[in-house]
Protein backbone atom coordinates (compact mmCIF):
# COMPACT_ATOMS: atom_id res chain seq x y z
CA UNK A 1 0.00 0.00 0.00
CA UNK A 2 1.50 3.32 -0.98
CA UNK A 3 0.83 6.57 0.79
CA UNK A 4 -0.43 8.56 -2.17
CA UNK A 5 -4.05 9.52 -1.80
CA UNK A 6 -5.04 10.63 -5.28
CA UNK A 7 -7.40 13.53 -5.74
CA UNK A 8 -10.60 11.58 -6.25
CA UNK A 9 -13.68 13.47 -7.41
CA UNK A 10 -15.72 12.31 -4.42
CA UNK A 11 -17.38 14.57 -1.89
CA UNK A 12 -18.06 14.16 1.80
CA UNK A 13 -21.64 13.35 0.80
CA UNK A 14 -20.45 10.48 -1.40
CA UNK A 15 -18.44 9.07 1.49
CA UNK A 16 -21.35 9.51 3.89
CA UNK A 17 -23.67 7.53 1.63
CA UNK A 18 -21.04 4.79 1.22
CA UNK A 19 -20.56 4.53 4.99
CA UNK A 20 -24.31 4.49 5.61
CA UNK A 21 -24.82 1.80 2.99
CA UNK A 22 -21.94 -0.26 4.42
CA UNK A 23 -23.36 -0.08 7.95
CA UNK A 24 -26.82 -1.05 6.70
CA UNK A 25 -25.45 -3.93 4.63
CA UNK A 26 -23.49 -5.12 7.67
CA UNK A 27 -26.66 -5.11 9.78
CA UNK A 28 -28.47 -7.07 7.06
CA UNK A 29 -25.64 -9.60 7.23
CA UNK A 30 -26.17 -9.99 10.98
CA UNK A 31 -23.10 -8.00 11.98
CA UNK A 32 -22.92 -5.48 14.85
CA UNK A 33 -20.55 -3.37 12.79
CA UNK A 34 -17.53 -3.13 10.54
CA UNK A 35 -13.90 -2.61 11.55
CA UNK A 36 -12.05 -1.21 8.59
CA UNK A 37 -8.26 -1.14 8.40
CA UNK A 38 -6.21 1.15 6.15
CA UNK A 39 -6.43 -0.19 2.62
CA UNK A 40 -8.98 -0.46 -0.17
CA UNK A 41 -12.11 -0.50 2.01
CA UNK A 42 -10.96 2.53 4.02
CA UNK A 43 -10.05 4.49 0.88
CA UNK A 44 -13.41 3.70 -0.64
CA UNK A 45 -15.36 4.57 2.50
CA UNK A 46 -13.48 7.70 3.61
CA UNK A 47 -10.91 8.75 1.01
CA UNK A 48 -8.22 8.32 3.67
CA UNK A 49 -4.93 6.53 3.20
CA UNK A 50 -2.37 6.92 6.00
CA UNK A 51 1.00 8.15 4.73
CA UNK A 52 2.55 4.99 6.12
CA UNK A 53 0.79 1.99 7.61
CA UNK A 54 2.62 1.30 10.86
CA UNK A 55 1.99 -0.82 13.94
CA UNK A 56 -0.04 2.04 15.42
CA UNK A 57 -3.77 1.27 15.22
CA UNK A 58 -5.83 3.14 12.63
CA UNK A 59 -9.37 1.76 12.39
CA UNK A 60 -12.69 2.94 11.01
CA UNK A 61 -15.59 1.75 13.14
CA UNK A 62 -18.98 1.60 11.41
CA UNK A 63 -22.04 0.51 13.34
CA UNK A 64 -25.67 0.77 12.23
CA UNK A 65 -27.39 3.80 13.73
CA UNK A 66 -24.16 5.34 15.05
CA UNK A 67 -21.90 8.00 13.61
CA UNK A 68 -18.79 6.55 12.00
CA UNK A 69 -15.63 6.88 14.09
CA UNK A 70 -12.07 6.85 12.81
CA UNK A 71 -9.59 5.80 15.49
CA UNK A 72 -6.18 7.30 14.62
CA UNK A 73 -2.81 7.86 16.27
CA UNK A 74 -2.63 11.48 17.47
CA UNK A 75 0.39 12.21 15.30
CA UNK A 76 -1.57 11.18 12.19
CA UNK A 77 -4.79 13.00 13.08
CA UNK A 78 -3.90 16.15 11.10
CA UNK A 79 -3.48 14.04 7.95
CA UNK A 80 -6.69 12.13 8.58
CA UNK A 81 -8.60 15.40 8.97
CA UNK A 82 -7.67 16.34 5.41
CA UNK A 83 -9.45 13.32 3.90
CA UNK A 84 -12.72 14.23 2.18
CA UNK A 85 -14.63 11.72 4.29
CA UNK A 86 -13.34 13.18 7.57
CA UNK A 87 -16.06 15.84 7.41
CA UNK A 88 -18.72 13.19 7.98
CA UNK A 89 -17.09 11.10 10.71
CA UNK A 90 -15.75 11.57 14.22
CA UNK A 91 -12.00 11.34 14.72
CA UNK A 92 -10.83 9.73 17.95
CA UNK A 93 -7.10 10.01 18.40
CA UNK A 94 -4.96 8.10 20.83
CA UNK A 95 -1.46 8.95 22.02
CA UNK A 96 1.50 6.64 22.45
CA UNK A 97 1.38 4.98 25.85
CA UNK A 98 -2.41 4.76 25.95
CA UNK A 99 -4.38 1.66 24.95
CA UNK A 100 -6.03 2.07 21.53
CA UNK A 101 -7.95 -1.19 21.96
CA UNK A 102 -9.64 0.06 25.12
CA UNK A 103 -10.62 3.23 23.24
CA UNK A 104 -11.97 1.17 20.35
CA UNK A 105 -13.74 -1.24 22.69
CA UNK A 106 -15.83 1.67 24.02
CA UNK A 107 -17.37 1.88 20.55
CA UNK A 108 -18.25 -1.81 20.25
CA UNK A 109 -20.98 -4.05 21.61
CA UNK A 110 -19.36 -6.42 24.12
CA UNK A 111 -20.79 -9.54 22.53
CA UNK A 112 -21.03 -8.32 18.97
CA UNK A 113 -19.95 -10.04 15.80
CA UNK A 114 -17.97 -7.69 13.57
CA UNK A 115 -16.77 -7.74 10.00
CA UNK A 116 -13.08 -6.86 9.87
CA UNK A 117 -10.95 -5.97 6.83
CA UNK A 118 -9.06 -8.91 5.37
CA UNK A 119 -5.84 -6.91 5.52
CA UNK A 120 -6.19 -5.83 9.19
CA UNK A 121 -3.08 -6.78 11.11
CA UNK A 122 -3.41 -9.88 13.30
CA UNK A 123 -1.93 -7.93 16.24
CA UNK A 124 -4.86 -5.50 16.12
CA UNK A 125 -7.47 -8.24 15.91
CA UNK A 126 -5.77 -10.04 18.81
CA UNK A 127 -5.72 -6.79 20.80
CA UNK A 128 -9.46 -6.32 20.30
CA UNK A 129 -10.23 -9.94 21.14
CA UNK A 130 -8.23 -9.68 24.36
CA UNK A 131 -10.02 -6.48 25.36
CA UNK A 132 -13.48 -7.75 24.42
CA UNK A 133 -13.43 -11.54 24.82
CA UNK A 134 -17.16 -11.80 24.04
CA UNK A 135 -16.81 -10.42 20.52
CA UNK A 136 -16.36 -12.47 17.36
CA UNK A 137 -15.14 -11.56 13.91
CA UNK A 138 -15.81 -12.37 10.27
CA UNK A 139 -13.99 -11.49 7.06
CA UNK A 140 -15.48 -8.24 5.80
CA UNK A 141 -14.98 -9.38 2.21
CA UNK A 142 -16.68 -12.73 2.82
CA UNK A 143 -19.56 -11.10 4.70
CA UNK A 144 -20.08 -8.21 2.27
CA UNK A 145 -18.54 -9.34 -1.02
CA UNK A 146 -20.60 -6.94 -3.14
CA UNK A 147 -20.01 -3.85 -0.97
CA UNK A 148 -17.77 -2.13 -3.55
CA UNK A 149 -18.85 -4.14 -6.60
CA UNK A 150 -21.36 -1.77 -8.19
CA UNK A 151 -19.61 1.39 -9.30
CA UNK A 152 -21.21 4.83 -9.48
CA UNK A 153 -20.85 7.01 -12.62
CA UNK A 154 -17.73 8.82 -11.34
CA UNK A 155 -16.05 5.51 -10.53
CA UNK A 156 -16.95 4.18 -13.99
CA UNK A 157 -15.27 7.22 -15.54
CA UNK A 158 -12.11 6.62 -13.52
CA UNK A 159 -12.04 2.94 -14.49
CA UNK A 160 -12.59 3.85 -18.15
CA UNK A 161 -9.69 6.32 -17.95
CA UNK A 162 -7.44 3.70 -16.33
CA UNK A 163 -8.40 1.28 -19.12
CA UNK A 164 -7.60 3.88 -21.78
CA UNK A 165 -4.19 4.46 -20.18
CA UNK A 166 -3.49 0.71 -20.26
CA UNK A 167 -4.55 0.67 -23.92
CA UNK A 168 -2.16 3.55 -24.66
CA UNK A 169 0.55 1.49 -22.96
CA UNK A 170 -0.13 -1.45 -25.29
CA UNK A 171 -0.05 0.76 -28.38
CA UNK A 172 3.46 1.87 -27.36
CA UNK A 173 4.82 -1.46 -26.17
CA UNK A 174 4.00 -3.16 -29.46
CA UNK A 175 6.51 -0.80 -31.12
CA UNK A 176 9.49 -1.61 -28.88
CA UNK A 177 12.07 -4.25 -29.81
CA UNK A 178 11.38 -7.66 -28.26
CA UNK A 179 13.89 -10.11 -29.83
CA UNK A 180 17.25 -10.03 -28.04
CA UNK A 181 15.96 -8.30 -24.90
CA UNK A 182 15.07 -9.91 -21.59
CA UNK A 183 11.50 -10.24 -20.31
CA UNK A 184 12.49 -7.96 -17.43
CA UNK A 185 13.52 -5.23 -19.91
CA UNK A 186 10.08 -5.29 -21.56
CA UNK A 187 8.54 -5.38 -18.07
CA UNK A 188 10.39 -2.18 -17.19
CA UNK A 189 9.12 -0.59 -20.40
CA UNK A 190 5.55 -1.54 -19.43
CA UNK A 191 5.92 -0.01 -15.96
CA UNK A 192 7.42 3.19 -17.40
CA UNK A 193 4.59 3.48 -19.92
CA UNK A 194 1.85 2.88 -17.34
CA UNK A 195 3.34 5.70 -15.25
CA UNK A 196 3.75 7.93 -18.30
CA UNK A 197 0.05 7.47 -19.05
CA UNK A 198 -0.95 8.48 -15.54
CA UNK A 199 -0.71 5.45 -13.25
CA UNK A 200 0.58 6.32 -9.79
CA UNK A 201 0.94 2.64 -8.92
CA UNK A 202 2.05 -0.30 -11.07
CA UNK A 203 0.73 -3.60 -9.67
CA UNK A 204 2.06 -6.12 -12.21
CA UNK A 205 3.90 -6.32 -15.52
CA UNK A 206 3.76 -9.90 -16.76
CA UNK A 207 5.93 -10.76 -19.75
CA UNK A 208 5.55 -14.51 -20.28
CA UNK A 209 7.62 -15.53 -23.28
CA UNK A 210 7.66 -18.95 -24.90
CA UNK A 211 7.33 -21.67 -22.22
CA UNK A 212 7.07 -19.01 -19.47
CA UNK A 213 3.78 -17.92 -21.01
CA UNK A 214 2.32 -21.31 -20.09
CA UNK A 215 2.59 -20.36 -16.41
CA UNK A 216 -0.13 -17.77 -15.68
CA UNK A 217 1.70 -16.70 -12.50
CA UNK A 218 5.01 -16.01 -14.19
CA UNK A 219 5.85 -12.31 -13.86
CA UNK A 220 9.14 -11.48 -15.59
CA UNK A 221 12.44 -13.31 -15.69
CA UNK A 222 15.83 -13.17 -17.35
CA UNK A 223 14.77 -15.16 -20.38
CA UNK A 224 15.91 -13.47 -23.58
CA UNK A 225 13.08 -13.07 -26.07
CA UNK A 226 13.66 -14.61 -29.48
CA UNK A 227 12.12 -14.88 -32.87
CA UNK A 228 9.21 -17.35 -32.78
CA UNK A 229 8.16 -16.57 -29.19
CA UNK A 230 4.58 -16.12 -28.13
CA UNK A 231 4.59 -13.44 -25.43
CA UNK A 232 1.80 -12.91 -22.89
CA UNK A 233 1.72 -9.25 -21.80
CA UNK A 234 -0.51 -8.66 -18.74
CA UNK A 235 -0.15 -5.36 -16.98
CA UNK A 236 -2.01 -2.93 -14.76
CA UNK A 237 -2.10 -0.81 -11.67
CA UNK A 238 -3.90 2.20 -10.27
CA UNK A 239 -4.56 5.48 -12.04
CA UNK A 240 -6.18 8.17 -9.88
CA UNK A 241 -7.00 5.44 -7.39
CA UNK A 242 -8.78 3.09 -9.83
CA UNK A 243 -7.48 -0.07 -11.46
CA UNK A 244 -6.43 -1.18 -14.91
CA UNK A 245 -5.68 -4.77 -15.96
CA UNK A 246 -5.37 -5.91 -19.55
CA UNK A 247 -3.68 -8.74 -21.42
CA UNK A 248 -2.65 -9.11 -25.04
CA UNK A 249 -0.61 -11.97 -26.43
CA UNK A 250 1.85 -10.94 -29.13
CA UNK A 251 4.22 -12.96 -31.29
CA UNK A 252 7.83 -12.21 -32.20
CA UNK A 253 7.96 -12.61 -35.99
CA UNK A 254 5.59 -14.81 -37.99
CA UNK A 255 3.57 -17.37 -35.96
CA UNK A 256 2.98 -21.02 -36.83
CA UNK A 257 -0.45 -22.25 -37.92
CA UNK A 258 -0.92 -23.88 -34.50
CA UNK A 259 -0.09 -20.65 -32.64
CA UNK A 260 -2.57 -18.79 -34.79
CA UNK A 261 -5.23 -21.39 -34.13
CA UNK A 262 -4.78 -21.32 -30.36
CA UNK A 263 -4.85 -17.52 -30.38
CA UNK A 264 -8.05 -17.55 -32.47
CA UNK A 265 -9.70 -19.93 -29.99
CA UNK A 266 -8.84 -17.70 -27.03
CA UNK A 267 -10.08 -14.66 -28.93
CA UNK A 268 -13.39 -16.39 -29.66
CA UNK A 269 -13.64 -17.45 -26.00
CA UNK A 270 -13.03 -13.90 -24.82
CA UNK A 271 -15.70 -12.63 -27.21
CA UNK A 272 -18.17 -15.28 -25.97
CA UNK A 273 -17.47 -14.32 -22.35
CA UNK A 274 -18.03 -10.67 -23.17
CA UNK A 275 -21.29 -11.44 -24.97
CA UNK A 276 -22.57 -13.31 -21.91
CA UNK A 277 -22.35 -10.09 -19.86
CA UNK A 278 -25.82 -8.65 -19.22
CA UNK A 279 -27.82 -7.62 -16.16
CA UNK A 280 -29.28 -10.59 -14.31
CA UNK A 281 -26.91 -13.18 -15.76
CA UNK A 282 -25.02 -15.09 -13.06
CA UNK A 283 -21.27 -14.53 -12.81
CA UNK A 284 -20.73 -18.20 -13.60
CA UNK A 285 -22.46 -17.78 -16.97
CA UNK A 286 -19.59 -15.56 -18.13
CA UNK A 287 -17.13 -18.28 -17.15
CA UNK A 288 -19.23 -20.98 -18.80
CA UNK A 289 -19.56 -19.04 -22.06
CA UNK A 290 -15.82 -18.47 -22.40
CA UNK A 291 -14.91 -21.96 -21.22
CA UNK A 292 -17.32 -23.68 -23.62
CA UNK A 293 -15.45 -22.27 -26.64
CA UNK A 294 -12.11 -23.55 -25.36
CA UNK A 295 -13.52 -26.92 -24.31
CA UNK A 296 -15.30 -27.42 -27.63
CA UNK A 297 -12.02 -26.72 -29.42
CA UNK A 298 -10.37 -29.51 -27.41
CA UNK A 299 -8.25 -27.34 -25.10
CA UNK A 300 -10.46 -27.42 -21.98
CA UNK A 301 -7.80 -29.00 -19.75
CA UNK A 302 -5.41 -26.15 -20.61
CA UNK A 303 -7.68 -23.33 -19.36
CA UNK A 304 -6.58 -23.55 -15.75
CA UNK A 305 -8.03 -20.50 -14.01
CA UNK A 306 -11.32 -18.65 -13.51
CA UNK A 307 -12.47 -16.34 -16.30
CA UNK A 308 -12.43 -13.07 -14.38
CA UNK A 309 -12.29 -10.95 -11.24
CA UNK A 310 -13.73 -7.64 -10.14
CA UNK A 311 -11.75 -4.40 -10.24
CA UNK A 312 -12.15 -1.00 -8.58
CA UNK A 313 -9.89 0.62 -5.99
CA UNK A 314 -7.89 -2.63 -6.24
CA UNK A 315 -6.94 -4.70 -9.28
CA UNK A 316 -8.42 -7.95 -7.88
CA UNK A 317 -11.66 -8.08 -5.89
CA UNK A 318 -15.15 -9.61 -6.00
CA UNK A 319 -17.16 -10.45 -8.02
CA UNK A 320 -15.41 -13.49 -9.51
CA UNK A 321 -16.42 -15.00 -12.83
CA UNK A 322 -16.17 -18.62 -11.78
CA UNK A 323 -18.27 -21.79 -11.83
CA UNK A 324 -20.44 -21.84 -8.71
CA UNK A 325 -20.73 -18.04 -8.37
CA UNK A 326 -24.45 -17.40 -8.75
CA UNK A 327 -24.31 -13.68 -7.93
CA UNK A 328 -26.33 -11.93 -10.66
CA UNK A 329 -24.62 -9.21 -12.66
CA UNK A 330 -25.83 -5.69 -11.90
CA UNK A 331 -25.29 -2.56 -14.05
CA UNK A 332 -22.15 -0.79 -12.82
CA UNK A 333 -20.23 -3.95 -11.88
CA UNK A 334 -16.74 -4.03 -13.41
CA UNK A 335 -14.57 -7.11 -13.91
CA UNK A 336 -12.13 -8.82 -16.21
CA UNK A 337 -12.94 -11.34 -18.93
CA UNK A 338 -9.64 -13.16 -19.42
CA UNK A 339 -9.70 -16.71 -20.74
CA UNK A 340 -6.43 -18.40 -21.66
CA UNK A 341 -4.84 -21.57 -22.98
CA UNK A 342 -1.57 -22.75 -21.43
CA UNK A 343 0.43 -25.49 -23.15
CA UNK A 344 3.05 -26.66 -20.62
CA UNK A 345 6.63 -26.29 -21.79
CA UNK A 346 5.54 -24.56 -24.97
CA UNK A 347 3.53 -21.33 -24.82
CA UNK A 348 0.47 -19.62 -23.43
CA UNK A 349 -2.20 -17.27 -24.78
CA UNK A 350 -4.47 -15.01 -22.74
CA UNK A 351 -6.65 -12.08 -23.79
CA UNK A 352 -8.12 -9.81 -21.11
CA UNK A 353 -10.40 -6.81 -21.10
CA UNK A 354 -12.07 -4.99 -18.24
CA UNK A 355 -15.81 -4.95 -18.85
CA UNK A 356 -18.66 -3.12 -17.15
CA UNK A 357 -22.28 -4.23 -17.04
CA UNK A 358 -24.60 -1.76 -18.78
CA UNK A 359 -28.39 -1.58 -18.87
CA UNK A 360 -28.59 -4.19 -21.59
CA UNK A 361 -25.21 -5.85 -21.96
CA UNK A 362 -21.57 -5.05 -21.43
CA UNK A 363 -19.07 -2.36 -22.37
CA UNK A 364 -15.32 -2.85 -22.63
CA UNK A 365 -12.82 -0.49 -21.02
CA UNK A 366 -10.03 -2.06 -23.11
CA UNK A 367 -10.31 -1.61 -26.82
CA UNK A 368 -6.95 -2.38 -28.43
CA UNK A 369 -7.03 -5.00 -31.16
CA UNK A 370 -7.62 -8.56 -30.03
CA UNK A 371 -6.04 -9.87 -33.26
CA UNK A 372 -2.58 -11.34 -32.73
CA UNK A 373 -0.07 -8.49 -32.96
CA UNK A 374 3.31 -9.32 -34.55
CA UNK A 375 6.23 -7.62 -32.82
CA UNK A 376 9.89 -7.55 -33.69
ZN1 LIG B 1 6.07 -18.98 -32.23
ZN1 LIG C 1 -4.37 -9.26 -15.95
ZN1 LIG D 1 -6.96 -9.82 -14.46
Ligand closest to the CA atom of residue 205: 2
Are residues 259 and 356 located together in one domain of the fold?
Answer: yes
Are residues 139 and 168 located together in one domain of the fold?
Answer: no
Are residues 311 and 240 located together in one domain of the fold?
Answer: yes
Query: How high is the pLDDT of residue 314?
Result: 96
Segment 226-249 shows an average pLDDT of: 98
Neighbours of 298 (CB within 10 A): 9
Query: Does residue 7 lie within any of the structural domains?
Result: no
Query: Does residue 2 lie within any of the structural domains?
Result: no
Round the CA-based radius of gyration of the chain to a whole number and report it: 22
Are residues 110 and 167 located together in one domain of the fold?
Answer: no
219 CA to middle of ligand 2, Å? Answer: 11
Of the chain, the percentage scoring pLDDT greater than 90 comes to 94
316 CA to middle of ligand 3, Å? Answer: 7
28 CA to middle of ligand 2, Å? Answer: 33
Are residues 111 and 249 located together in one domain of the fold?
Answer: no
Q: What does the angle CA 344 – CA 287 – CA 372 come to, to the nearest 5 degrees?
A: 55
How would you class 186 by CB atoms within 10 Å of its CB: exposed for 0-12, middle for 13-18, buried for 19 or more?
buried
Range of the domain at 266: 153-375
163 CA to middle of ligand 3, Å? Answer: 12
342 CA to middle of ligand 1, Å? Answer: 14
Q: How many domains does the structure of the chain reveal? A: 2
Please report which confidence band the pLDDT of residue 216 belongs to, taking 50, 70 and 90 as the band edges: confident
H or E segment to which residue 248 belongs: strand 246-252
Q: Please report, for the domain that includes residue 189, its CATH number.
A: 3.90.230.10
Ligand closest to the CA atom of residue 310: 3
* pLDDT single digits (tens) 241-269: 999 999 999 999 999 999 999 999 999 99
Alpha-carbon gap, residue 164 to 32, rounded angstroms: 41
Query: Does residue 1 lie within any of the structural domains?
Result: no
* pLDDT single digits (tens) 4-23: 445 568 999 999 999 999 99
Amino acid sequence: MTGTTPAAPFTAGDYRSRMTRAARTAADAGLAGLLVAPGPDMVWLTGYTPTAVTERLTLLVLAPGRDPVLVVPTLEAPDAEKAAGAAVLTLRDWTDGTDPYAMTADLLAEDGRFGISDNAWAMHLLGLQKTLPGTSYASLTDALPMLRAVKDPAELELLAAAGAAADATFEEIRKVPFAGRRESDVGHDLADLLRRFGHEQVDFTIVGSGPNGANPHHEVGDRVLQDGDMVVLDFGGLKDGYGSDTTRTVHVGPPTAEEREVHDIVRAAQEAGFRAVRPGAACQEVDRAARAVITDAGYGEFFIHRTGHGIGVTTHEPPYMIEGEEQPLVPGMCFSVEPGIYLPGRFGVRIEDIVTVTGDGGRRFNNTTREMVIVS
